[in-house]
């Protein structure tokens, strides 16, 4: 059986089937989570909250705890190489940081400019009003329209926290999005960002010169990505961003501890359906100290992408009927952390002392070999910290679609001491036609990373984690009235 195939049992059928829960009403005794990124560790934490202290929760990880939250070390200091910024309204991430006693690390101010391969076409200044005036002069009221659009979407998205606080769960990403923003949100996962913005009255020039550079730095893709993920990306380009002091991955190790989960540092190789009479469990096989081990679980959450080019190594066996391939692929983005001297002349500033920018975004110009270049701060910031000036050796993060060639490094940097490359399959390669993957793979087998296909971010994985913990709990206890309820805004207003 192909390892990239998985069960497409109709979950509509599953929800209607009263036999999917254990009939004696006993709680589950063992739950497995595959993957210890923010999605898997948050799932373990929420599962513990809902199922209580008795259930055993095993979390499998084949690489490092944190997954796509990772750091690299330069000159004895660590820098984020994967997921790095968090929005002030990302309430689950905020809550984790508070519960774990971690500290916030605020972004250090710095100016941004947009480079088109020849010159800067947009430059931030020290003067907020001047920047506003320039935007208005160049793009009319496009930026106000955009701001209002993003705010409206965020306001609707924030409803999820209320629904989840009231215990409501959704059996698919579509149901979840529909409950937040109706068919408008679903359509936003199918229509391109550029189409949606043009319809809104945002000018093509603004899209090319402002929106496209933001999509390139956040998702390495262009303005044809779906509008919903585009809005997630634009929200991440606003002010009020933060990160976790010491590194975002600390949230993952902290959540594992808080959940009192057992971390099993092994790759899961197979998930096999085992039936005893009416009761079904999942057998996971994994390598443990060079030996094959296996264990039976009542509930399993797969918290890693299953698309073909990710090569999760998981094969699903014994599921009848049909298995179907999961569509889509993950997008390559290379993060190079470079310690050196920026070549300001390349950007038209022969004197580095006069170079005022800390972040350089780029337009979608054919042949331009990098998506962005930015001076970055370490994950631990002391009170006297100041950004290095361009005439000093500093640490920069460059995102590019492929590893940088030596000649490209020499174009961007006058000289450098070190280059550390992380070649990520970073986020979904968004197209408009692949649809959203399922959440329920089988009665008590769930898939977290379908949510990324609406938008990939730490908070999206955290929202998916809370949803799966609630969904698993309600399905186990046959509280179907808590799943896929309609008119939730009205319901949560009238509930005590
Ligand atoms: C370069 C980059 C920049 C980003 N920037 C931001 C940002 O600024 N802000 C933001 O919010 N998000 C950002 N993101 C996205 C964010 O990092 C991800 O959405 C999020 O970390 C995904 O977490 P996850 O737990 O769902 O998946 P992952 O972190 O991928 O975790 C999956 C885990 O499963 C493990 N695994 C896989 N197969 C197996 C197996 N067979 N057995 C056991 N374990 C297995 C993997 O090793 C991995 O650790 C960025 C991502 C990248 C790569």
Separation between Cα atoms, residue 197 and residue 211, nearest integer Å? 10
Q: What pLDDT, on the 0 to 100 scale, is given for residue 334?
A: 98
Distance 37 CA to ligand 1 centre (A): 5
Bridge partners of 425? 332
255 Cβ inside 6 Å of ligand 1? no
Q: Is the CB of 203 under 6 A from ligand 1?
A: no
Tell me if 264 CB under 6 Å of ligand 1: no
Structure tokens at 255: 């959540």
Distance 107 CA to ligand 1 centre (A): 22
Distance 140 CA to ligand 1 centre (A): 38
Helices (H), 303-382: none
Tell which phi-psi region holds residue 28, choosing left (phi > 0), alpha (psi between -120 and 50) or beta: beta
Residue 52 neighbours by CB distance under 10 Å: 10
The helix (H) or strand (E) run that includes residue 139 is: helix 128-139
Q: Which two tokens stand for residue 487?
A: 């008119």
Whether 284 and 32 have beta carbons less than 8 Å apart is answered as yes
Choose among 282, 305, 309, 277: nearest CA to 294: 282
Q: Is residue 267 within 6 Å of ligand 1 at its C-beta?
A: yes
Name, in order, each residue with C-beta under 8 angstroms of 199's C-beta and a sequence gap of 6 or more: none
| Tokens (6 digits) for 93 | 């991430």
Burial class (CB in 10 A: 0-12, 13-18, 19+), 432: middle
For residue 189, with 0-12 CB atoms within 10 Å meaning exposed, 13-18 middle and 19 or more buried, which class applies? buried
Q: Tell me how far the alpha carbon of residue 176 lies from the centroid of ligand 1, in angstroms.
A: 21
Q: How far is the CA of 438 from the centre of ligand 1 (A)?
A: 18
Question: Tokens in use for 140?
Answer: 């009319």
- Residue with CA at minimum distance from ligand 1 atom 14: 83
CB-side neighbour CA atoms (13 Å) of 121: 18
Which one of 303, 458, 467 would you pick to mutate in the ligand 1 pocket, going by the greatest count of ligand atoms within 8 A of its CB?
458
Nearest to 273 by CA among 441, 98, 474, 67: 441
What's the CA gap between 30 and 368, in Å, rounded?
Answer: 51
32 vs 93, 169, 446, CA distance in Å? 22, 20, 10
Residue nearest to atom 53 of ligand 1 (CA): 426
CA of 215 to the centre of ligand 1 (A): 19
**pLDDT tens, N- to C-terminus, the chain (496 residues):** 333 333 333 333 334 344 444 546 789 999 999 999 999 999 999 999 999 999 999 999 999 999 999 999 999 999 999 999 999 899 999 999 999 999 999 778 889 999 999 999 999 877 877 777 788 888 888 888 999 999 999 999 999 999 999 999 999 999 999 999 999 999 999 999 999 999 999 999 999 999 999 999 999 999 999 999 999 999 887 778 899 999 999 999 999 999 999 999 999 999 999 998 888 999 999 988 788 999 999 999 999 999 989 999 999 999 986 656 688 999 999 999 999 999 999 999 999 999 999 999 999 999 999 999 999 999 998 878 888 899 999 999 999 999 999 999 999 999 999 999 999 999 999 986 668 999 999 999 999 999 999 999 999 999 999 999 999 999 999 999 999 999 998 888 887 6
**Pocket perturbation via mutation, ligand 1, pick of 70, 83, 85 by most ligand atoms within 8 A of CB:** 83
Crossing angle between the packed helical segments 227-235 and 193-200, to the nearest 10 degrees: 80
CB of 419 sitting under 6 A from ligand 1: no
Task: Give the residue, out of 37, 233, 252, with the most ligand 1 atoms within 8 A of its beta carbon, to mutate for a pocket test.
Answer: 37
pLDDT attached to residue 13: 37
* Whether the CB of 455 sits within 6 Å of ligand 1: no
Ligand 1 centroid–CA 461 distance in Å is 9
Determine the pLDDT at residue 289.
78
Nearest atom, ligand 1, residue 458 CA: 11
- Specify the DSSP element, H or E, that contains 257: helix 250-258
Ligand 1 atom closest to Cα of residue 269: 41
Around Cβ 165, how many Cβ atoms within 10 Å? Answer: 11
In ligand 1, the atom with minimum distance to the C-alpha of 84 is 8
Q: Which helix (H) or strand (E) holds 291?
A: strand 291-297
Do the bridges between strand 262-264 and strand 56-60 make them parallel or antiparallel, or are there none, so unpaired? Answer: parallel
Structure tokens at 178: 């529909």
Nearest protein CA to atom 10 of ligand 1, as residue:
457
Residue identifier of the C-alpha nearest atom 38 of ligand 1: 312
What number does the ligand 1 atom closest to the CA of 252 have? Answer: 25
pLDDT at 30: 98
Token pair belonging to 101: 């006693």
Question: Going by DSSP bridges, is the β-strand pair 394-400/372-375 parallel, antiparallel, or unpaired?
Answer: antiparallel
Name the DSSP class of 66: B
Closest ligand 1 atom to Cα of 314: 41
Distance 64 CA to ligand 1 centre (A): 10
Can the peptide bond before residue 314 be classed as cis, meaning omega within 30 degrees of 0? no
The atom number, within ligand 1, closest to the CA of 448 reads 26
Whole-number pLDDT of residue 496: 60
263 strand-pairing partners: 59
């Amino acid at each position: 059986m192909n390892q990239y195939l998985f069960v497409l049992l109709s979950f509509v059928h599953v929800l209607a089937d009263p036999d999917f829960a254990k009939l004696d009403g006993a709680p589950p005794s063992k739950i497995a989570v595959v993957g210890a990124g923010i999605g898997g560790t948050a799932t373990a934490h929420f599962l513990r909250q809902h199922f209580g202290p008795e259930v055993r929760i095993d979390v499998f990880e084949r690489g490092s705890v944190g997954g796509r939250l990772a750091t690299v070390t330069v000159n004895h200091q660590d820098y984020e190489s994967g997921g790095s910024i968090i929005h002030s309204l990302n309430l689950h991430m905020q809550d984790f940081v508070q519960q774990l006693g971690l500290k916030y690390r605020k972004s250090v101010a710095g100016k941004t400019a947009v480079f088109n391969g020849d010159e800067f076409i947009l430059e931030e200044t020290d003067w907020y009003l001047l920047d506003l005036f320039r935007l208005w002069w160049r793009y009319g009221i496009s930026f106000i329209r955009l701001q209002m659009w993003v705010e409206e979407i965020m306001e609707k998205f924030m409803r999820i926290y209320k629904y989840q606080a009231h215990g409501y769960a959704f059996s698919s990403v579509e149901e979840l999005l529909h409950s937040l923003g109706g068919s408008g949100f679903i359509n936003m996962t199918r229509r391109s960002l550029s189409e949606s913005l043009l319809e809104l009255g945002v000018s093509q020039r603004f899209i090319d010169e402002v929106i496209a550079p933001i999509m390139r730095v956040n998702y390495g893709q262009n303005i044809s990505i779906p509008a919903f993920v585009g809005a997630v990306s634009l929200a991440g380009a606003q002010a009020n961003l933060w990160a976790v002091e010491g590194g975002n991955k600390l949230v993952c190790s902290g959540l594992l501890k808080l959940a009192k989960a057992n971390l099993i540092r092994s790759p899961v190789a197979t998930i096999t359906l085992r039936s005893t009479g009416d009761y079904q469990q999942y057998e996971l096989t994994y390598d443990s100290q060079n030996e094959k081990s296996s264990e039976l679980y009542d509930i399993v959450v797969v918290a890693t992408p299953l698309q073909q080019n990710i090569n999760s190594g998981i094969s699903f066996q014994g599921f009848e009927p049909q298995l179907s391939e999961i569509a889509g692929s993950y997008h390559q983005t290379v993060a190079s952390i470079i310690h050196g001297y920026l070549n300001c002349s390349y950007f038209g500033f022969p004197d580095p002392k006069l170079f005022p920018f800390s972040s350089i975004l780029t337009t979608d110009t054919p042949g331009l070999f990098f998506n962005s270049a930015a001076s970055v701060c370490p994950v631990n910031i002391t009170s006297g910290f100041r950004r290095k000036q361009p005439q000093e050796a500093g640490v920069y993060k460059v995102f590019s679609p492929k590893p940088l060639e030596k000649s490209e490094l020499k174009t961007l940097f006058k000289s450098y001491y070190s280059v550390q490359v992380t070649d990520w399959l970073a986020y979904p390669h968004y197209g408009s036609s692949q649809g959203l993957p399922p959440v329920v793979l089988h009665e008590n087998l769930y898939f977290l990373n379908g949510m990324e296909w609406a938008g990939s971010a730490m908070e999206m994985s955290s929202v998916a984690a809370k949803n799966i913990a609630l969904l698993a709990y309600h399905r186990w206890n046959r509280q179907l009235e808590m799943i896929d309820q309609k008119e939730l805004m009205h319901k949560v207003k009238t509930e005590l």
